[in-house]
Amino acid sequence: MAAGATSARGPEAGSDLPSNVVRMSYPSPPTRTPRRIKEMRPDDVRSTIGADPRLIIPVGTCEQHGRHLPLGADTLIVEHLANDLSAEFGVCVAPTLEYGVNVATERGFPGNASLRKKTLHRMLNDLLDTWEMTGVMEFILLTAHEHDPHQEALATVITTKARVRVVDIFAIDFRQLLEGQSEPMHGDEVDTSLMLYLVPNLVRMDLAEDYMMSREELRRYRRGWLKVPESSSSGSIGRPTLATPEKGAAIYAHIREKVRAKVFLAPEPE
């Protein structure tokens, strides 16, 4: 995990949340080591997949989230989640895909790097095909990026027999944990709280700027049809100034519990 993550994750989730935010209890974070295949020998990968033929694949982005957050915010969040789930369930986790499909209206931000939808789709098809040949029977694609073409690239991946599950962690309902928003936006109260909890040393709260959109405007932004006005925001959407590490701890625990319950603990389909 990134530097600073261990010390930032000590407090109990929700210990210092505002009074209007619901406090919830969650399982403790896992203490075992993630099974990252880039750090494993072939025999170890073979035995792990033989015991549990699932593979977690974190899919990130290299994209601005406002001046206060690093470009790899989406990537860092899903990497932490993938590592925690791998450690808890003994499932292999693949090297992270660092690039996704970014909103076209964000081209020009320093450091932004985007793939075309068909490029991400083909890359995943190639990777899953080779991993399926080694015995993987279920792929779990974790992403934290709600741009529609990005989601479409993941949702249309094809395998021979293996099951593919796309998990968009921002599709979860966070309303009971937020103060200024009803849903995740971009570089917002959700993103910023998660980053303050996971990697606080990478966040500059003094640069955070609030900028709200209506639901219809947000839908158009996610399709790449609407640009955030530079005169009103540096690129973030939502209320990042309301973010706190305690809120991030509660949001992260909520995400982990939802994913583990629906993806890892739910009965296998017939």
List, for residues 7-46, the tens digit of each pLDDT value.
Answer: 344 445 555 666 666 565 555 666 689 999 999 999 999 9
- Asked if 147 contacts 224 with a C-beta cutoff of 8 angstroms, the reply is yes
Helix or strand run (H / E) with residue 140: strand 138-143
pLDDT at position 44: 96
> What's the pLDDT band for 6 if we cut at 50, 70, 90?
very low
Q: What is the CA radius of gyration of the chain?
A: 18
d(CA 212, CA 140): 32
pLDDT at position 139: 98
pLDDT at position 25: 57
pLDDT at position 84: 96
Regarding predicted confidence, which is higher, 172 or 146?
Answer: 172
Regarding predicted confidence, which is higher, 244 or 268?
Answer: 244
Percent of the chain with pLDDT over 90: 70
State whether residue 160 is helix, strand or coil: coil
Q: Which residues pair with 140 in a beta bridge?
A: 56, 165
d(CA 225, CA 221): 5
Percent of the chain with pLDDT over 70: 83
d(CA 162, CA 31): 29
Helix or strand run (H / E) with residue 154: helix 148-155
Rounded to the nearest 10 degrees, the angle between the axes of helix 148-155 and helix 117-132 is: 30
List, for residues 215-231, the tens digit of each pLDDT value.
Answer: 787 777 777 666 776 65
- pTM summary value: 0.85
